[in-house]
Amino acid sequence: FVSTYDYLKIFRWEETGIQEEPQKPEEMQIRAYPNPFNGSCRFEIPEGFDVSIYDLNGILVRRLDKTRVWDGRNTGTQSVPCGIYFVVAKYRNAILKETIVKID
């Protein structure tokens, strides 16, 4: 073994018990596409968030379980009218919101 270095570096890693800060809510967002949509709309939302769709009057239209796709239907599986809807995602103290538009 040939070396041109005459020193040795030793690194020691210790856990401090302090975890990294979770991502701040303002850095997280909902991505909805296509928007406006006809038929269905897909959402990119951080893991762990519960997702609900509301109409302009603030009435719950649909809760999305594990799926991140809304088919434009309410909980009764009836097609909702064209218009503006709000996607609200909640996880602990974080709330994310996005506006989507359903068209014909």
**53-78 confidence digits (pLDDT tens):** 999 999 999 999 888 999 999 998 99
How many independent structural domains does the chain possess? 1
Domain carrying residue 90: 45-102
pTM, full prediction: 0.73
For residue 10, pLDDT beyond 90: no
Instruction: Decide if 94 is inside a domain.
Output: yes
* CA pair distance 45, 53, nearest whole angstrom: 13
For 25, list phi and psi in degrees, rounded to 5. Answer: -55, -35
Report the pLDDT value the prediction gives residue 80, as an integer from 0 to 100.
Answer: 97
Report the pLDDT value the prediction gives residue 104, as an integer from 0 to 100.
Answer: 87
Instruction: Decide if 91 is inside a domain.
Output: yes
Instruction: Decide if 81 is inside a domain.
Output: yes
pLDDT in tens, 31-45: 999 999 999 999 999
Instruction: Decide if 53 is inside a domain.
Output: yes
For residue 18, pLDDT beyond 80: no
Instruction: Summarize the confidence of residues 18-28 as an average pLDDT.
Output: 59
Q: Which of 67, 66, 68 is nearest to 100 (CA)?
A: 68
For residue 82, pLDDT beyond 90: yes
Q: Burial letters for 7-25: b for 16+ Cβ neighbours within 10 Å, e otherwise?
A: eeeeeeeeeeeeeeeeeee
